[in-house]
């Protein structure tokens, strides 16, 4: 299973159809197996607002009521997942859309105080192997199984890490709405563990990015050789993103 590249896709890559072809080109590079996990926060926000369902975030995670969970699953496992898989297929990368609930791919424990929100506890890669065996790219929505088999909202960054660890990924790339982690007025090429902690403590890195960086650091510490936070610029052949490192940069 070595050689798998895992991409978590969010932000412009989901919102801008002009980026699907560059994303497909990125996925084709390397010749080994790839896996895409996606978010879809802006679409969820629009649907929740249209339905007058209140929502809020706690340290980067969306607190999710039962009513909101129905919308989250409809948006992620339906609208976003099928559109992304179809777009990549049109761009020359045959893809099959899955939910992390399918085949019990991700089973999650509930996060206290957030309603129907979970963090990955067990990962079964059999559904991924079946898709790869057919010659397709798996595109995974992060909605997962809760303790009683119910749908739970798992942060896509954490779902991507859980799957990357389970498949023994060599590379984990977080594609979002920023071209890298910004320290001061520019995105940095590398970010060490101590830089991460300092920047979160002083508020330079906050909110969803703080969660993303912490998850990326967890990925490095779990032994994934290459972990990168990147954005549109990477897909367009410009800035490749911020590589997250466990140790100090010399």
Residues of the chain with pLDDT below 50 are: 1-2, 249-250
pLDDT at position 166: 96
User: What does the alpha-carbon distance between residue 211 and residue 128 come to, in Å, rounded to a whole number?
Assistant: 26
Whether 5 contacts 173, CB under 8 Å: yes
Q: What is the pLDDT of residues 204-227, one digit of tens each?
A: 887 778 888 888 888 998 899 999
From 97, 102, 157, 179, the catalytic residue:
157
pLDDT at position 225: 92
31 is catalytic: no
pLDDT at position 172: 95
Domains belonging to the chain, first-starting first, are 5-244 (3.40.1160.10)
Q: Which residues contact 102 (CB under 8 A, 6 or more apart)?
A: 127
User: What does the alpha-carbon distance between residue 174 and residue 122 come to, in Å, rounded to a whole number?
Assistant: 21
From 102, 146, 180, 212, the catalytic residue:
212
Q: What is the pLDDT of residues 75-107, one digit of tens each?
A: 999 999 999 999 999 999 999 999 999 999 999
pLDDT at position 2: 47
pLDDT at position 1: 41
pLDDT at position 240: 95
Outline where DSSP puts E strands in 67-113. Answer: 95-99, 106-110
Q: Is the pTM of this model over 0.85?
A: yes
11 is catalytic: yes
135 is catalytic: no
């Amino acid at each position: 299973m070595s050689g798998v590249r895992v991409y978590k896709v969010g932000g412009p890559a989901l919102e801008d159809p002009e980026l699907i072809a560059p994303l497909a080109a990125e996925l084709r590079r390397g010749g080994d197996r790839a896996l895409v996990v996606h978010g879809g926060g802006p679409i969820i926000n629009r649907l929740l607002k249209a339905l007058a369902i209140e929502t809020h975030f706690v340290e980067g995670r969306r607190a999710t009521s039962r009513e909101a969970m129905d919308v989250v699953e409809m948006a992620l496992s339906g609208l976003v997942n099928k559109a992304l898989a179809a777009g990549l297929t049109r761009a020359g990368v045959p893809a099959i859309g899955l939910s992390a609930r399918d085949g019990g791919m991700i089973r999650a424990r509930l996060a206290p105080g957030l309603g129907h929100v979970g963090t990955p506890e067990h990962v079964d890669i059999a559904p991924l192997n079946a898709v790869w065996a057919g010659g397709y790219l798996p595109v995974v929505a992060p909605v997962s199984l809760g303790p009683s088999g119910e749908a739970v909202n798992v942060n896509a960054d954490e779902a991507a890490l859980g799957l990357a660890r389970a498949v023994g990924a060599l590379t984990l790339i977080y594609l979002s709405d920023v071209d890298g982690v910004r320290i001061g007025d520019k995105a940095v090429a590398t970010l060490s563990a101590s830089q991460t902690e300092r920047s979160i403590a002083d508020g330079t890195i906050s909110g969803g990015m703080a969660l993303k960086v912490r998850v990326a650091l967890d990925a490095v510490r779990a032994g994934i050789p290459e972990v990168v936070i990147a954005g549109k610029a990477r897909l367009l052949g410009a800035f490749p993103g911020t590589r997250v490192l466990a140790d100090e940069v010399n």
